[in-house]
Amino acid sequence: MSSFTQISRELKLFAMASLMMGMAYSIIDATFNNFLNERFSLSGFERSFMELPRELPGFLVVFVTASLWFLSSRRLGAITMVLGVVSTLLIGFASYTYGLMLLWLFFYSLGQHVFMPLGSAIGMELAQEGKIGQRLGQLNALRNLSAVMGSLLVFLGFKFLGFTFHHTFTLAALFFVVAAIMMAAMTAEKPQPSTLYLKLHREYRLYYLLSILYGSRKQLFITFAPWVLVTVFHQPTQTIATLLATGGVIGIIFQPLLGRLIDSFGERVVLISEAVLLIFVCGGYGFGKFLLSEQTAFLVACVCFLLDQILMSVNMARSMYMRKIAIEPSHVQPALALSVTIDHIFSITIALLGGVIWNSFGFQYVFLLGAFIAVGNLVTAWQIQVPAKQ
């Protein structure tokens, strides 16, 4: 990344906000599954049902964004961080019942999902023409660094400092506070008219389909991959934190490289490669336990967990593809928001279906479903045609 003193004020603020936000999310990611297991002892179906209030905000993204159209993306980003502060504290300190926890989780997830398209749109705004992938890769690498720092903090806290879940939720809320301040300090840009957010464009149909497939396979891993480690391989909080930290370290190097690869070879090549790798990841994660020894299967699951964690960043290629095919520049942020809503219609269904499959047939068939989704992603990515010039 360019020298910190040479980059613009806006990029400095956004980079700092991204770092703080990443710390907060990584702390919660590293502890949440164990928090659920210890506090509520959920069954596989109860765990999957929890994804309904967790992912419903993703469906609501375009409607929330459209209703707040008078706010610039940067101001709206600050509001999502404030929502993260409040909801994190409520989850950690006021989850007296399973139902209350689901309510707080809904608001936490709402802030998280609304920020998803904002982060990509702001990152592309702050990039030089022809180096968009490089800039997004750098910002993602920074978020990976924050994931490493947050996960390391969780590991050291639980292993040596006597951390409880109250400590980790409090720390996450503090990091959200700093992120909100950084986002609020950014210069507000002109907001987009609300009518742009609720319109489907035929020209973007391939992008919408790619988003649906990405959201579906992503949901399977977010919901069930850590749950396999916790319930099938009986791993403690430290293991999840270690894996997230390891993936973050790899991502610090991989993310900028991925951005440059997209700039050099294009979105089509990168998305096809991702789909092929995902087929093998799903197979290894779902069936390694039945084909290999217990220890080897656990190691394979860890490798697949890390690979999927790294491949999540390929979503930047989808955002860049949308930017290149946009009829008007003003279509980009609304299209990104709409794609989140569209893919969550399917990801919520996939999460519930996955829970039924887990209970009825076994966890391995959840990942067999993921492999079929990856095949669909491969077929769709093969059809990408990007204009030669933006």
Reported as a single tens digit per residue, the pLDDT across 56-77 is 888 888 888 888 877 878 889 9
Mean pLDDT estimate for the chain: 83
Q: Express as a percent the part of the chain with pLDDT over 90.
A: 18
> What band does 103 get if pLDDT is binned at 50, 70 and 90?
very high
**According to DSSP H, which parts of the chain are helical?**
9-40, 44-49, 51-67, 73-93, 98-125, 132-160, 165-185, 205-231, 237-265, 267-291, 294-311, 315-325, 332-361, 363-381
pLDDT at 242: 80
* Count of all residues that appear for the chain in the document: 390
Least confident segment among 94-108, 182-196, 222-236: 182-196
pLDDT at 200: 76
Beta-carbon contacts of residue 339 (< 8 Å; ≥ 6 apart): 117, 207, 208, 211, 318, 322
pLDDT at 276: 92
HSE-CB for 383 with a 13 A CA cutoff: 10
Reported as a single tens digit per residue, the pLDDT across 166-199 is 899 999 999 999 999 999 998 877 766 656 666 7
Instruction: Extract the tokens encoding 266.
Output: 């294009």
pLDDT of residue 376 exceeding 50: yes
> What band does 2 get if pLDDT is binned at 50, 70 and 90?
very low
> What band does 6 get if pLDDT is binned at 50, 70 and 90?
low
HSE-CB for 140 with a 13 A CA cutoff: 29
Mean pLDDT, range 193-210, rounded to an integer: 77
> What band does 387 get if pLDDT is binned at 50, 70 and 90?
low
Work out the angle at residue 216's Cα, subtended by the Cα atoms of residues 232 and 262, and round it to the nearest 5 degrees.
110
A 10 A CB-CB count for 90 gives 19
Instruction: Extract the tokens encoding 293.
Output: 């020894």
Beta-carbon contacts of residue 135 (< 8 Å; ≥ 6 apart): 123, 124, 126, 127, 128, 259
A 10 A CB-CB count for 8 gives 10
> What band does 388 get if pLDDT is binned at 50, 70 and 90?
low
Which backbone phi and psi does 192 adopt, to 5 degrees? -90, 145
pLDDT of residue 48 exceeding 70: no
Instruction: Extract the tokens encoding 148.
Output: 């490493």
One-letter amino acid for residue 31 of the chain: T
Surface-to-core class of residue 28, CB atoms within 10 Å of its CB (0-12 exposed, 13-18 middle, 19+ buried): buried
| Domains of the chain, start order | 9-188+204-381 (1.20.1250.20)
pLDDT at 69: 74
> What band does 82 get if pLDDT is binned at 50, 70 and 90?
very high
CA dihedral 254, 258, 264, 265 (to 10 degrees): 120
Distance in angstroms (rounded) separating the CA atoms of residues 68 and 81: 15
pLDDT at 21: 93
Distance in angstroms (rounded) separating the CA atoms of residues 390 and 371: 33
pLDDT at 238: 74
